[in-house]
Copies of this chain bind each other. A is one copy, B any other.
């Protein structure tokens, strides 16, 4: 009695995002897709091609869901885009949060953060996909208040996280007493932005790493190596 329809939902992937807890015995025909997986595919597409250049047919093909199912599960194209972006942000946050929290020497901390960022930006079968925020969301942000709010929140989140790192480093005496954590944080964010953009234009990883290294040198003080 281990059969297929025993308890499909609660276990496997985690529909926790939408369905609060368990889904005990749904009533009708079972879904042929996993919402989380499908959203991941949609995210990849939007990130690669942007909003306008990604058609619902493309999304349908990539997710394996036909268009009516897409609408049923995620709403129209814009809603799907926004949910994809939320998912991207959640993934990125999950990949970074531990490093931001770890009590490492500031230099090491920055190195790890930027390394993870590079991993994210350079991944992709058909070339580097860059950063969702920088590549497409920022463009949509001018005209769409909801997307704009998310983008600004993303910037602020990074600024704040970096500022926390520099503040603590300063407390621990790793930085000069004249160092301004706020300013350094904005420089760190700027470094994130510049590697995101350059990655998209296929700048080789080595070169991006050199940029990161240079930026870290300046931020933590080249002398303090």
Contacts and interface: CB of A to CB of B under 8 A. Distances in A.
A84 interface: no
B152 A201 contact: yes
Interface in A150-169: 151-152, 155
Interface of A: 48-53, 126-130, 134-136, 138-139, 141-143, 148, 151-152, 155, 178, 180, 182-184, 186-187, 189-191, 193-194, 197-198, 200-203, 211, 214-215, 217-219, 222-223
A136 B130 CA distance: 13
What is the predominant secondary structure among interface residues of chain A facing chain B? helix
Contacts of A180: 214, 217, 222
A198 B130 contact: no
B155 A201 contact: yes
A197 B193 contact: yes
Nearest 10 pairs between A and B by C-beta? A183-B214, A190-B194, A52-B53, A52-B52, A190-B190, A141-B201, A193-B194, A151-B201, A127-B142, A138-B200
Output the residue of A48, A50, A152, A187 with the most chain B CB within 10 A: A187
Output the residue of A190, A191, A200, A215 with the most chain B CB within 10 A: A190
Contact of A141 (B134, B182, B202): B202
